[in-house]
Structure 1
Amino acid sequence: MSTFSDALTRLGSAQKSAKGAPAYSRFVNRKLGRVLAAASYVVGLTPNQVTGISACFTFAGIALIALVSPAPWLGLVVCLALVIGYAFDAADGQLARLRGGGSKSGEYLDHMVDALKVSALHSAVAISFYRFFDLDHAAYLLLPVAFTVVAAVLFFGMILKDLLARAHRAAAGVPAPPPEAPSTLRALLVIPTDYGFLCVAFLLFGFKDVFLPLYALFFAGNLLFLLAASVKWFREVGALDATPAQSGSQRVNA
């Protein structure tokens, strides 16, 4: 049985590419996830069990947003719950790679939990705004509703783009491109889209006059990124059509 330090060392060479990852996810969350993955490996947890732990922390934090009146202590508790949940979310994939590779069912479960949380989080904010925030205009309630739509579409777009690319490479017999070197500048520029920084922003949830404009800035950043990324992704997917898939006999004869 590997020790914690052995597992941690092995995980250092079992990381996926950091290309495109925003700053918190790349520099903080993956490192936290690595520690949790090593600990989970030592105690014998499976990746699906780690996904379940992540969901418990994440949805506990989301429930508190919707059910409890904002206060400084609540912001701290919600932030910790979301941050820990996100760290375990990074740990399940790392644990799978440490164990020799993940499963299709595990990937499905992980993506389903992620899809649920990105919509549930902003839905909980909408409930909190309605119940506890003394909003000058009811139109502010549209902000988390719009954020729910943007977050869901952004998540689906990223997943679908990668899925189509992988399916096309498999059909065309084309190997995956080598990972590109990650850009620190880009990681900093896309901070508004970073789910990890959004988790940390809930530290200010108890300060309504500060949290509301900060939340609006996160929404604006995600909306602008979605508009730009959608065009880029459409072109990338369209470029796949220029490389026709090979038939089974063609791949055998190649």
Structure 2
Amino acid sequence: MDVTTKSFANSVRALRTAQKSNRGAPIYSRLVNRPVGRVFAALAHQVGLTPNQVTGVSAIFTFTAIVLVALVPPSPAAAATVALLLMIGYGLDAADGQLARLLGSGSPAGGWLDHVCDSAKTATIHLAVLVSMYRFADLPTDLLLLVPICYSIVDSVLFFGFILTDSLRRPSGPALAQAENARPSVLRSVLAAPTDYGILCLIFFAFAWPQVFLVPYGILMLGTAGYLLLALPRWYRDISRLGSPVPGTR
């Protein structure tokens, strides 16, 4: 067997336990994106990329797609290009953390960089949709422009709330796959589907037809808003049970 091929295969196997726990992960992230991220992480390991460099490559794919959404008139070719770029960027976003855990090189700076990029895309992807709808779409009413505005608000609050809650719950770092005591719930993953960025990436295949696109896009927005309204009280209760004070909080 070729040494490179063997090393790549070993990296993929090792990465199965270097990823975050699937507990609570939405369905696309669990079944598609994390396995794709393992392959990207193994490839990055082969060519000698660092986790931060993988984060940078992910950002290039993602923000190229976001710029195309805002500036290029919708068409089938543009929609397919945007969707594929977003999906590749998301796969690479899963790869940087897996690579860091595989190499034992995770750092606060790397986590900070990853979260800054994620927070930027969380807001700007919906603002790009807003710009595109305003410039190119023949909407029956301007009130539909409120959909990407509301989605940007909801998604930003969800992202910040989830990241902060997870950080306060597990200050030592994310739970890993090998630490799971029970099989993650498939039902829970399905119920979290509206919050799944991967599904948002997929619906951009319909972006060539703005009024068609707005149907699943609006459904995802409403589902995400509903999930957030249910999650916020539970997260607050969980954090309220923490015994010791956290520096910088009240």
In the alignment, the residues of structure 2 paired with residue 129 and residue 219 of structure 1 have an alpha-carbon distance, to the nearest angstrom, of 16
Superposed CA offset, 1:214-236 (max 9, x none): 11101000100110000110111
Counterpart of 1:93 in structure 2 is 97
Cα deviation for residue 155 of structure 1 reads 0.3
- Structure 2 unmatched ranges of 5 or more: 246-250
Query: Partner letter of residue 24 of structure 1?
Result: Y
- Measured after TM superposition, the shift of residue 165 of structure 1 is 2.1
Instruction: Confirm whether residue 183 of structure 1 aligns to residue 185 of structure 2.
Output: yes
Q: Which moved more, 1:185-194 or 1:22-31?
A: 185-194
Report the Cα offset of residue 15 of structure 1.
2.2
Instruction: Quote the residue 2:233 is aligned against.
Output: 231
Identity %: 49
Structure having the higher Rg: 1
Unaligned 5+ runs, structure 1:
246-254
Could you say what secondary structure the match of 1:45 adopts? coil
Q: CA deviation at 1:16?
A: 1.7
Find runs of 4+ consecutive structure 1 residues off by over 4 angstroms.
none
**1:184 aligned partner, one-letter code:** V
Matched residue SS, 1:186: helix
| Equivalent in 131, 134, 152 of residue 130 of structure 1 | 134
Q: What is the 5 A alignment of 1:192-231?
A: 192-231=194-233
The aligned residue for residue 108 of structure 1 is 112
One-letter amino acid of the structure 1 residue matched with residue 186 of structure 2: T
State the distance in 1 between where 2:95 and 2:167 align: 22
Q: Give me the whole-angstrom Cα distance separating, in 1, the residues matched to 2:156 and 2:116.
A: 12
Q: Which amino acid aligns with 2:184?
A: P
Q: In structure 2, give the amino acid aligned to 1:216.
A: G
- Preserved CA contact (<8 Å) 2:139 2:211: no
What CA distance in whole angstroms lies between the structure 1 residues aligned with 2:168 and 2:102? 26
Give, in whole Å, the separation in 2 of the partners of 1:218 and 1:209: 15
Name the CA distance, whole Å, in 2 between partners of 1:26 and 1:163: 20
Secondary structure of the equivalent of 2:170? Answer: helix
- What residue number does 1:68 align with? 72
Question: Aligned letter for 1:193?
Answer: T
Confirm whether residue 32 of structure 1 aligns to residue 23 of structure 2: no
Deviation at 1:13, TM superposition (A): 2.3
Match of 1:9 among 5, 8, 13: 13
Measured at CA, do residues 107 and 244 of structure 1 come closer, stay the same or move farther in structure 2, by a change above 3 Å? closer
2: CA distance, partners of 1:132 / 1:152: 25
Return 7-16 or 83-92, whichever deviates more: 7-16
